[in-house]
Amino acid sequence: MTINENRESDKLTVILEGRLDTTTAPELEKYFGEKLEGVNQLTLDMEKLEYISSAGLRVLLAVHKKMSKLGGLTLINVGSGVMEIFEITGFSDILNIE
């Protein structure tokens, strides 16, 4: 999985590419642990994310909770495969998806 970012003052857009699974989720968790200093609005561009498993959902839930206190988290360009996983697991109701 590749993580690209676009930071403009307190707004951070993170572009994920590849798969968010048991192997790659720790990398994203570490990234969020380090890069959210001073961020009030976090946007995740999911267009190139092809796959998500419960390990990925765990990381998203944690960052969602963290950002709820600081400002907000929005997911954009969610593909239909990943969207279906969100729907099955109820995450489509928890996460802010545009």
Instruction: State which of residues 27, 35, 36, 53 lies at the interface with other proteins (CB under 8 A).
Output: 53
- Strands 72-76 and 11-20, by their bridges, are unpaired
2 binds other proteins (CB under 8 A): no
29 binds other proteins (CB under 8 A): no
Instruction: State which of residues 3, 36, 55, 70 lies at the interface with other proteins (CB under 8 A).
Output: 55
Burial of 51 (0-12, 13-18, 19+ CB in 10 A): middle
HEC letters along 57-98: HHHHHHHHHHHHHHCEEEEECCCHHHHHHHHHHCHHHHCCEC
58 binds other proteins (CB under 8 A): yes
From the list 7-15, 29-37, 38-46, 63-71, the region that binds other proteins by CB under 8 A is: 63-71
70 binds other proteins (CB under 8 A): no
